[in-house]
Amino acid sequence: MTSPIVRFAPSPTGKLHVGNVRTALINWLFAKGQGGKFILRVDDTDTERSTKAYEDQIKADLTWLGLEWDDTFNQSGKFAQYDAAADKLREMGLLYAAYETADELDRKRKIALSRGRPPVYDRSALNLSDEEKAKLEAEGRKPHWRFKLSGNRVEWKDLVRGPQSIDTSSVSDPVLIREDGSYLYTLPSVVDDIDAGITHVVRGEDHVTNSGAQIEIFRALGGTAPEMAHTPLLVDAEGGAFSKRLGSLDMGTLNGRGILPMAILSLLAKLGTSDNIEVRETLDALAADFDFSKIGRAPAKFDERDLLALNATLVHAMSFDAVKDQLAAISPEAANEAFWMAVRENCQTVQDAKPFADIAYGRIESLIDDEDAAFIAEAKMLLPAGEVTGESWGDWTSALKEKTGRKGRGLFMPLRKALTGQEHGPDMGTILPLIGREAIERRLSRA
C-alpha cells in the first residue's frame, strides 16, 4: 500500500474538545504509523463564524498535544477552485438552481410525511423553465444550488463500519451552495481531498450520510473516492450523547487542570477499542498499537475518572527535573527533590502537590481544641526521637494509642488539626517528615 495521506479538518468556530482531538489523533496514528502524511485543513468557508483566534488556538492545542502536521491550508484561500468545480458540475447537469424558501421546503417535508412518504426533496426545481427562473429572479429570489444524486446505491467498505450502502434515492439532493453564494462543507471538502491526494477520509460517524453524496461528487469531478473510516462518537460516562460537559473539555481547560498530553492521547487512542485502556509514553508507541480493526461499533464512553487515573500513573513516574518549574511556581521550598519524591505517589496532577507544600512550608494556624490540649501535650512528649521519617507517623500514633487509649478519629484528628490547621488534607505519614521536627514541635505547642 502507498503511504496514507490523511487530513484533520476542524472548523475554527470553537475550541478543540476531546471529541475533535480523538478524530485528529486517529488520523495521526493511522498515517504516522505507516510513514504517511497528516494534513491540517482549516474549514473556514463560513467566514461569519470562523475566527483567526480559534484557528491559532487549534494549532497551539495540536502542537501542545504533539500532533504535528506535515502541511496546512485554509479553505478560505481556495474559493476560485471551488467555483471552478461548481461550474464543472453545472456543465455536467449535476448542479441545479433551486428557489424554494426554508418555509416552502418545510411545508413540502410535512406534506410528504403526512402522506407516509420519506421527506426527500421532490426536485421540482429541475422542471423550471428558463422563463420561470428569470421570473423568480426578477422577484428578487436567489437560487441555492443542489447536487443531483444518481438515485443509485453508493457502496464502500468502511474501515470501521464494514460494508456500507446508501440508497441515494432516499436522500435529498444536497445543497452545495447557499443562496448568498457561500459553500456548505460538502463540495469544498471533496475538491480539497482530490487536490491533496487524500487516501483515507477518517471522521466521525455523523458524516456517514454525507459520504454517500461525497463519493458521487468525487466520481463526477473525475477522482476516485478515498477509503473511508467513520468512527463511533464519544458519549459521556453515563452513555448519554456528547454532552455540554464533554464539549467543554477543551485542551486549555485540561492543561489548566494539570492533565498531561499523553494521558489525553492514551485515553482517546484506546477508548472504544479492543485494547486495554493504559498509558503509553509516546505517540509513536500509540501508533504502533493502532489498527482500524480494533475500533468497535459501540459509542466510546469518555469518563474523566479514566483520564485522571492515567494522568496519575504518569505523574507518579515523573522525575523531579520534569516538574521542577511547576513546583517552583507553587513555592520556592517545594522545588526540592526530597519533597517531590515524598508526595508524587499521592498526586494525580502535579498541582496536587500544592496542599502538601502549603502544610510543609506554609504558615499554619494550629487548631487545638481545649479538650485536646492535654492529649496534644502528651503527643509532643511522645514524638519519636531522631529524624522524622516515613515510619514516624505510625510509630508515634501507636505509642500515643497505647498511652492515652484514644483510637480512630479521636486519635488522628487532633493531631491533623494541630499540625495542618485543617480537618482534611494529605496523608499524614507522607507529610510529617516534610514538616520536620522543629515545625512539628512548634505547631504542637499552644501559642
Binding-site annotation: residue ranges: 244
> Is 43 near ligand GLU (CB under 6 A)?
yes
Asked if residues 361 and 333 have their Cβ atoms less than 8 Å apart, the reply is yes
- What one-character DSSP code corresponds to residue 167? E
Pairing state between β 162-167 and 153-158? antiparallel
Work out how close the CB of 234 gets to ligand GLU at its nearest, in angstroms, rounded to a whole number: 14
Residue number with CB closer to ligand GLU (211 or 311): 211
Span from 7-15, 91-99, 124-132, 428-436 in contact with ligand GLU (CB under 6 A) = 7-15
Looking at 15, 22, 146, 203, which residue binds ligand GLU (CB under 6 A)? 203
Residue number with CB closer to ligand GLU (189 or 392): 189
Residue number with CB closer to ligand GLU (43 or 358): 43
> Is 188 near ligand GLU (CB under 6 A)?
no
Work out how close the CB of 225 gets to ligand GLU at its nearest, in angstroms, rounded to a whole number: 12
Work out how close the CB of 211 gets to ligand GLU at its nearest, in angstroms, rounded to a whole number: 9
Cell of 160: 470501521
Span from 3-11, 120-128, 373-381, 396-404 in contact with ligand GLU (CB under 6 A) = 3-11
**Binding track over 135-174 against ligand GLU, x by CB under 6 A:** ----------------------------------------
Residue number with CB closer to ligand GLU (6 or 419): 6
Number of helical H runs and strand E runs in the chain: 19, 12
What torsion, rounded to 10 degrees, do the Cα atoms 204, 208, 213, 218 define? 50
Specify which residues 74 forms β-bridges with.
Answer: 42
Specify which residues 154 forms β-bridges with.
Answer: 166
Residues within window 207-266 making contact with ligand GLU, judged by CB under 6 A: 207
- What one-character DSSP code corresponds to residue 297? S
Rounded Cα distance, 405 and 434, in Å: 28
Cell of 417: 488539626
Rounded Cα distance, 176 and 188, in Å: 9
Q: Got the DSSP string for 40-102?
A: EEE----TTT--HHHHHHHHHHHHHHT---SEEEEGGG-HHHHHHHHHHHHHTT-EEEE---H
Residue number with CB closer to ligand GLU (40 or 283): 40
> Is 73 near ligand GLU (CB under 6 A)?
no
Q: Is the dihedral of CA 431, 436, 439, 441 positive or negative?
A: positive
The size of the interface with ligand GLU (CB under 6 A), counted in residues, is 8
Residue number with CB closer to ligand GLU (213 or 327): 213
Work out how close the CB of 185 gets to ligand GLU at its nearest, in angstroms, rounded to a whole number: 5
Span from 6-14, 232-240, 348-356, 416-424 in contact with ligand GLU (CB under 6 A) = 6-14
> Is 326 near ligand GLU (CB under 6 A)?
no
Residues within window 85-114 making contact with ligand GLU, judged by CB under 6 A: none
> Is 17 near ligand GLU (CB under 6 A)?
no
Cell of 212: 454517500
Cell of 391: 515510619
Span from 9-17, 127-135, 333-341, 350-358 in contact with ligand GLU (CB under 6 A) = 9-17
Residue 180 phi/psi, 5-degree rounding, is -85, 5
> Is 10 near ligand GLU (CB under 6 A)?
yes
Nearest to 315 by CA among 340, 297, 282: 340
Work out how close the CB of 250 gets to ligand GLU at its nearest, in angstroms, rounded to a whole number: 15
What torsion, rounded to 10 degrees, do the Cα atoms 278, 283, 284, 290 define? 60
> Is 11 near ligand GLU (CB under 6 A)?
yes
Binding residues for ATP: 244
Rounded Cα distance, 194 and 5, in Å: 11
Work out how close the CB of 263 gets to ligand GLU at its nearest, in angstroms, rounded to a whole number: 24
Residue number with CB closer to ligand GLU (10 or 212): 10
Looking at 45, 168, 189, 397, which residue binds ligand GLU (CB under 6 A)? 189
Looking at 5, 6, 9, 149, which residue binds ligand GLU (CB under 6 A)? 9
Strand, helix or coil for residue 37: strand
Q: Is 94 left (phi over 0), alpha (psi -120 to 50) or beta?
A: alpha
- Strand segments (E) across 285-428: 300-302
Tally of CB atoms within 10 A around 389: 12
Work out how close the CB of 231 gets to ligand GLU at its nearest, in angstroms, rounded to a whole number: 11
Work out how close the CB of 7 gets to ligand GLU at its nearest, in angstroms, rounded to a whole number: 7
Interface ranges with ligand GLU (CB under 6 A): 9-11, 43, 185, 189, 203, 207
